[in-house]
Structures are given as structure tokens and as C-alpha cells.
Structure 1
Amino acid sequence: MIELPAAVHAMADRGPRWQSWVDELPKLLTRQLGEWNLVADGAPMWGHASVVQPVRNADGASAVLKVGFPDEESQHEHLALRRWGGDGAVRLLTADPHRHALLLERLHTRDLGDLWDIEACEVVAGLYDHLHVPALPQVRRLTDVVARATAELETLPRAAPVPRRLVEQALTLGRDLMTDPGTTGTLIHTDLHYANVLAADREPWLVIDPKPLNGDPHYELAPLLWNRWDELAGDIRGGVRRRFYALIEAAGFDEHRARSWVVVRMVHNAMWALTGAAPVDHDWLTTCIAVAKAVQD
């Protein structure tokens, strides 16, 4: 049996479904190793919602076995990785979608956190061209996600601790973007931040861990603005704006469209922080509002 790290056991505290998943993980990992003729090759690693076990196959080649929590966001990860075929992203070797199990090429553990944030943003912008390919029919649509979030946002109490002008702005922009043909035509990663780009041997940097949607490439920017937040202390507005303009310039994005998506996405995040089952994370709420303001003030 695989011995799970303490951080993975701690995921069980998130609720009954997580508890059940964590309880089954050792058996699931062991079964997958056997079926794919793999042997463990080091201690397990983990992300927010997955376990990654370094392995070797029968020929001695290195890889990693990733088993993820069965959520809606990651259910089509294997489809996106297969579509990219290793171009700009980690290479998918095989998959068992029903078990949320993926066998992936092994990359290094070094991520873009080692680079100056503006340099890291430019690296990510350079990967967009590889990842932003025509939409896949099986993948969820960004318009559906935005429609659901917009309906929830319409019910947010006026007394909620989010500036009302931002709420109204996100509602208007969200409705406009939902009807725009450019909102569903492209396969996008949606969770492309510094820790989801790893150093590799065959390329300097490769993307991991997509939460794919058929959407608009401009939707991708926001995670690079809110991550590595502590580094912006003392000049949050200036730091966010430097990242924003570095991204749109390097990627050749439309500034107005990129700004619109950042505002919509950050207000949606603020709303979910207030309406979710978990206690309100006031630091995260403040971050959401600060990013939405910074890109447009």
C-alpha cells in the first residue's frame, strides 16, 4: 500500500466526499500501479486536489501516476492533454478517466515561482499559442459557467462586502461576454498560474493540471494576477497592472477584453467566497476586489 502524506490525509477535513476519496486512495493507487505494470519510485507528491506518485514502468522509464479528486473541473483533463499532445504541456501517456487516473511524463519539480514574476508572465504568454487550439466538443463551455455564476451574482445581497459598482459591472460584462461568439471557440487551461508550469528536459517549461473549458483565451490571465500575492505588498495596484500589461503585450491580447474577463472572474470569485460552505476567507475576498480594481483604476 502507498503511504499517503499528512497533507493528503488532511484533505479529508473538507467534507464527506473528500473523506471517502482519501480513504480509498491507497487501494486505488495500488490497483493502478498493478494494472499499468508500474512500480513506485519515490515519495508521493500532492496538489490541491490530487496525489502524484513518481513511478517507473517495466522498461525502467520514469513517469508519474496522478490520481485526482473526482470533481467537475478536472473531469476532462485527459482530453485536453491528449489534444495538446505534449505541445506546451506535459505529455499524457495513458489515462483511466473513470478513476481520474493519469500516467504522465515526469517533469522537474521547479516551477515559475523561481523566476521574477514579470519574466514568468512572459513565459506563460509564450505558451498560450501552443495551448489555445480549437474547442473540443466534449469539454464544458465557459458560457455555461458564466451563465450559472451570473445568475448567482444577481441574487447577491446589496449589503454584501463587495463594491456594488463592481457587482453591476460584472453582471453587465458577463451578459455581454456570454453572447459573444469568441467566448466558446478555444480550448483553454483556466488554472494557468506559476506553480502549474514546470521545468522539463525536452522543453524549458511545460504546463500541467488543466481545468479545461471551451472558452476565450483572455479568460486565462487572472490566476497570474492573484497568485504570488505577498510579493506585491507595498504596491498592489502597480504590481497587478505590471503583470496584466506584460501578459497582454506578450500574448498580443486585446486589452479591453482581457480587462473585462479579469473583472468578471474576480467578482465571481468574491461571490463564491461569500456564498460557499466554508467560512469566509477575508484575505481572499480582499484580493479579489483589489485585482478587479487594479486592472481598471
Structure 2
Amino acid sequence: MPEYLKKYSKDWKINNARKISSTATGDIYLVESDDKRAVLKILNDLGVKDELPGSYFLKICEGLGAARLFKFDERALLMEYLPGENLYQFSKINNEKRASEIFCEVIRKIRRPAHTIDSKRLVDYAKLFSVLEDIEIKKEMRELFECARYLVRELLKTQSEEVILHGDLHHENIISRATGEFVCFDPKGMVGDPSYELGTTLKNPWDYPEISQNIEIFKRRAKYFSKELLLPYNRVIGFSFVHLCLSMAWALEQGTNYEHQLKLAQKLFQTKILG
């Protein structure tokens, strides 16, 4: 038994641990805790650096719209087991409208004004945008990044609200409980403009480009989110474009593919809807 698994099995009274997956940030185990199924995630060094704000986000939500967090420290977290399917179940039957409804239900539950909670342990989303200035970009991206940098300045200057943010809210990060209620998990844990939350949402479902790369569907979804969540449409669109450029910058840093983000960003830029 790995050292950390042995430690948490003893300290948190966990039984019957079975490794079910590994991610870039740690190992995930299905376990029993207090005679119930739970999920234990033991973090590696990257996870220790990146995931602690997400644990604080789950603690703040207290199970409302988000997975219940039972215990956590700087090296591990123990959370509820979610047995259901993610939102791809709707994408694959071309029912993105239902997926959008669930996104809104979850966002309404997790949204809290930042000033009402202790948000010091969450990430200030404004820190993300520096990469747009620092990264060495490809020629095909220059016009897009110039637009993104302008939008960031305008969006931050006109921001009037700050809330806690999941920060990575896409179809695979929302799963149903045994009761059928959908909740989010695997948050980044941020504070920022509420419209930023939809940036990841709108570039997905990644595995269904007939939805995520269709600009008319994109605009229709953005309008729906704007109406249902009482967010200005131009800010939803603006932050979605900025997030696409952020995602490309991160892909460049990591040496991964950015074709999906580039195609969608170009379509948004060419439609002249960015203001």
C-alpha cells in the first residue's frame, strides 16, 4: 500500500480502497468511509500546488450544487461518491438544451458574492490574464491575442460584481448524485466576474464539435445563459473569447494541441460579435 494511502486510511478511517484512476494531479481511489462509498484523491506535487483552492471552494459550497467535501488537507481530499453520468449524456443525443439548463441550475446554487465568504484562499482570476502578455504566440494568433488583451482591459475596468467561481465548469465536471441531482466537482476555486464562469462551458462539449464548433449554436447558448443567469450578453461573449485565448496560451506552454480553441476563436472574431 502506498505511503500516503496508508496514512489516510488510518487517519481518516477509510477502508477497502481501490484505485480507479490517475490524473495529472494525483491518484483517485474509491473507498468506504462511515459505511458509505466515497472518493479519496491523493495529490502529487503538482496537485498540492494547484488543487487546494478547489478544496476550499467545495468547503464553501457545503454540498449545495457541488460535491460534498468530507475532509481535506494540503495532500488529499475525501469527497462524496457521484454514481451518475456527466452531461455528455445529453450532448450525444443532441439535447444540448437540457445540458444548458443543468449548467444554469448548478451555477445558481454555487454562486456566492465574494465579499460574503472568506475568499482569501481562492485564486484571483485576474492573475490568469498575464499569460496573454507574456507568451510567445504563433503568427496565426496575433490578431486574436491583440483582441483578447483589449477585451481583458475593458472587462476588468467595467467589472461590477465578484463571485466565487468553479473555474473549469464543463460537461465532464458535472455529474448526478444517486438522487438524480446534478452537482459539479473538480473545481479550480477562484473569485472573479460571474460571466467568466461560462468561458469553459461554451468551448465545450469538446468531443462533439458539431455542437461546440457551430457558431450559431454557440450564440444561442450564450444568449440562453445570459438571460437565465442575468448576465450581460457582451460580457459572456467577451470572456468566452478571452478564455479561448487563455486556453491556447496554456496549450502552447504545455506543448499540446490548440486547434479546437483556435478554430472557435477565429469564428467568433470573424462574426464581429465581440464589440
Q: Which of the five TM-score ranges fits, normalised by the shorter chain? A: 0.7 to 0.9
Q: How has the CA–CA distance of structure 1 residues 207 and 282 changed in structure 2, closer, same or farther, with 3 Å as cutoff?
A: closer
Whether 1:67 and 2:49 are equivalent positions in the alignment is no
Whether 1:250 and 2:228 are equivalent positions in the alignment is yes
**Separation in structure 2 between the aligned mates of residue 204 and residue 161 of structure 1, nearest angstrom:** 43
Deviation readout 1:35-74 (Å, 9 max, x if unpaired): 21111254423455343211112x4222111223434442
Q: How does 1:1-297 map to 2 (within 5 A)?
A: 1=1, 26-40=2-16, 42-47=18-23, 49-57=25-33, 59-69=34-44, 70-71=46-47, 72-96=49-73, 98-99=74-75, 101-115=76-90, 116-135=95-114, 136-146=119-129, 148-152=130-134, 156=136, 160-162=139-141, 164=143, 166-182=144-160, 185-202=162-179, 204-233=181-210, 236-274=214-252, 276-278=253-255, 280-290=256-266, 292-293=268-269, 296-297=272-273
What code does the residue aligned with 1:141 have? D
**Separation in structure 1 between the aligned mates of residue 66 and residue 180 of structure 2, nearest angstrom:** 9
**Separation in structure 1 between the aligned mates of residue 70 and residue 78 of structure 2, nearest angstrom:** 5
5+ residue gaps, structure 1, are 2-25
Q: How has the CA–CA distance of structure 1 residues 241 and 41 changed in structure 2, closer, same or farther, with 3 Å as cutoff?
A: same
Would you tell me which structure has more strand in proportion to its own residues? Answer: 2
**Separation in structure 1 between the aligned mates of residue 266 and residue 22 of structure 2, nearest angstrom:** 30
Moved more, 241-250 or 213-222: 241-250
Q: How has the CA–CA distance of structure 1 residues 74 and 180 changed in structure 2, closer, same or farther, with 3 Å as cutoff?
A: farther
TM-score normalized by structure 1? 0.78
5+ residue gaps, structure 2, are none
**Separation in structure 2 between the aligned mates of residue 200 and residue 254 of structure 1, nearest angstrom:** 31
**Separation in structure 1 between the aligned mates of residue 185 and residue 271 of structure 2, nearest angstrom:** 27
Q: How has the CA–CA distance of structure 1 residues 248 and 125 changed in structure 2, closer, same or farther, with 3 Å as cutoff?
A: same
Q: CA deviation at 1:264?
A: 1.2
The answer to whether the 8 Å contact 2:196/2:236 transfers is yes
* Paired residues, number: 262
**Separation in structure 1 between the aligned mates of residue 229 and residue 271 of structure 2, nearest angstrom:** 17
Q: How has the CA–CA distance of structure 1 residues 79 and 40 changed in structure 2, closer, same or farther, with 3 Å as cutoff?
A: same
Q: How has the CA–CA distance of structure 1 residues 293 and 79 changed in structure 2, closer, same or farther, with 3 Å as cutoff?
A: same
What code does the residue aligned with 2:106 have? L
Relative contact order higher in (CA < 8 Å, ≥ 6 apart): 2
Q: How has the CA–CA distance of structure 1 residues 291 and 207 changed in structure 2, closer, same or farther, with 3 Å as cutoff?
A: farther
Q: How has the CA–CA distance of structure 1 residues 107 and 230 changed in structure 2, closer, same or farther, with 3 Å as cutoff?
A: closer
Q: CA deviation at 1:133?
A: 0.8
| Secondary structure of residue in 2 paired with 1:55 | strand
Aligned residues: CA RMSD: 2.5
The answer to whether the 8 Å contact 1:266/1:291 transfers is no
What code does the residue aligned with 1:268 have? L
**Separation in structure 2 between the aligned mates of residue 181 and residue 244 of structure 1, nearest angstrom:** 19
**Separation in structure 2 between the aligned mates of residue 102 and residue 269 of structure 1, nearest angstrom:** 27
Q: CA deviation at 1:179?
A: 3.3
Q: CA deviation at 1:244?
A: 2.1
Q: CA deviation at 1:172?
A: 1.1
| Secondary structure of residue in 2 paired with 1:281 | coil
TM-score normalized by structure 2? 0.84
